[in-house]
Structure 1
C-alpha cells in the first residue's frame, strides 16, 4: 500500500537506462525469451496482438523491446520489425537471439525520447515501457512521429490505478492505495517506474492529434487461474494489473 508515496526526484532518461542496464540478469530474459512471463502471455500479449491486427508484410517498431520477445512474435507473424532498446545489455541479448535464430529483426540501441531516423512504420508497439521512462512525453511523441498517416500506436502499462495489485491483494484480500493523482517514483527490484494517472497518457495522445481507438483492461481468465492452482493469481481475475491503449496517428 502506498500511503506515503515517495517524492519523485528529477530523474533523467540516462539515469533510468543505466539502472535497467545494470540490473540485467541473463537467466531472466532467457526464461521469457519466447513469449514473456505468465502475465504477459495471458494478459498483455493477446490484447497487443489483437489491437495491432494483421501485421503480415507491415513495418512495425517495437519501442523498448527489452529482450526482444515481442519483436520475435511479430516477425514470426510476417512483420518487418525494428526493435529499439535503450539498455545495452538487453539490446545485446536481443541481437544474440537474432544471430542464433534469424527472423529479420533489426535491433537498435537508442533512447526512445530521441529516436534516430528509422524511417516510417505502419504500427508502433510500446509494451510496459512508458511508465519506466522519465521523459515519457518525448518518448510517446517520438513513437507517434515515426508512424505513417493513420498508423496504429499501441502501448501497454502497468495499470496506474493498480500498480501494487499482487502485493496488496495477497496481503489484504483487496486492493489498497493511498495516492493516485500525484506523480511519484515507484522503486522496483530492477529499476524504478513512475506513477502517473491514466489521464496523463490519454491527454498526451489527444495533444499529439491521435484518434483514440480502444482501451483494454485485461482480466485473467478464471479457468486459467484455476488450472494453475495458484490462489495468489486471484488478484488478476478480479482487477486489471495492465492497461492497453490503441490510437491511430493523424
Structure 2
C-alpha cells in the first residue's frame, strides 16, 4: 500500500472541520458504545488509568467527536463539558444526551479559538484530536488554559513513529518509516491526519508550563490479536509496536 504525503501549510482548520462535517452517520453509530476496536482495546483503558477516579471531577472532552468518550466519563461520575467544532458530530452527541440525560454540556466551538473556560477543569482529555488539526498549537493552548493549577491534561495521538503500522506490516511483514522529522499531511478516508515528530508535542507542552507525568505506548494483548486476526490480517503488529501514544501532563 502506497501512502501519499502532502505538506500542510495551505490547509486551514476551517477546511478540516468542513471535511469532518461529512462524517457518515453510520460511522458515528458504529462507534457505540465504547468506540472502535483500537479505542476499546488500546486507548480507553490507558486514558482512564491516567485520569484516575473521575467521580465529581470537572472534565473537558476537547474535540469530543460524536461524544462516546464524554458519555463514558459521565457514566463514571464526571461532570463533563465537551467541545466539538464539526456540527454533524456535535448534533449526534446532543441527540445522545437528549436520550440519556447524563448532564453533559456540549459546546459548539473550535479549540483554536478562545473558549472562555480558563481554569475551569480538573482534567482535560484531548483524544485523537491534535493530529487532525492543521494549525494545532492554539488548540493545545486552549486545552492547557482550561485547566486549574495542578490540573491534568491527557492527550492521545497516532504514534508518530508508527502511524502506518497495520498497512505497512501487511505489505512487508515489518514496519518501515521515512521522513519522520518532517511535518506533512497523511490522507485518510474521511479527513487527513498530520504527521509531526513526537518531540514537537512534548516540547510545546513544556513551553506551556506543563510537566510530563507519563508517556504511554499501549500494545495489544495477544488474546485480543488472536480474536481479531480472522477479520484484520496483520493485527499482530499491534502486539509488537505501539500505534498510539498517550501523554499525561500536569499544569504546574
Q: Which runs of 4+ in 1 moved over 6 A?
A: 1-4
Counterpart Cα distance in 2 of 1:111 and 1:130: 12
Counterpart Cα distance in 1 of 2:94 and 2:226: 37
Report the equivalent of 1:140: 140
Report the equivalent of 2:250: 248
**TM-score relative to the length of structure 2:** 0.95
**TM-score relative to the length of structure 1:** 0.96
Per-residue CA deviation, residues 105-152 of structure 1 (Å, 9 max, x unaligned), is 111111011142235000000000001111211111110001010000
In the TM superposition, what is the alpha-carbon distance from 1:223 to its structure 2 partner? 1.5
- The residue correspondences of 1:1-250 to structure 2 (distance < 5 A) are 5-22=5-22, 24-118=23-117, 120-230=120-230, 231-250=233-252
8 Å Cα contact 1:33/1:68 also seen in 2: no
- Root-mean-square deviation (CA, aligned residues, Å) is 1.4
Secondary structure of the residue aligned to 1:240 is coil
Are residues 3 and 73 of structure 1, via their aligned partners in 2, closer, same or farther at CA, if it must alter by over 3 Å? closer
8 Å Cα contact 1:48/1:244 also seen in 2: yes
Counterpart Cα distance in 2 of 1:73 and 1:115: 26
Structure 2 unaligned residues grouped into runs of 5+: none
In the TM superposition, what is the alpha-carbon distance from 1:2 to its structure 2 partner? 6.9
Secondary structure of the residue aligned to 1:9 is coil
8 Å Cα contact 2:21/2:89 also seen in 1: yes
Structure 1 unaligned residues grouped into runs of 5+: none
8 Å Cα contact 1:222/1:237 also seen in 2: yes
Counterpart Cα distance in 1 of 2:145 and 2:208: 9
In the TM superposition, what is the alpha-carbon distance from 1:164 to its structure 2 partner? 0.7
In the TM superposition, what is the alpha-carbon distance from 1:229 to its structure 2 partner? 4.1
Counterpart Cα distance in 1 of 2:193 and 2:5: 13
8 Å Cα contact 2:4/2:186 also seen in 1: no
Counterpart Cα distance in 1 of 2:4 and 2:95: 42
Counterpart Cα distance in 1 of 2:90 and 2:69: 13
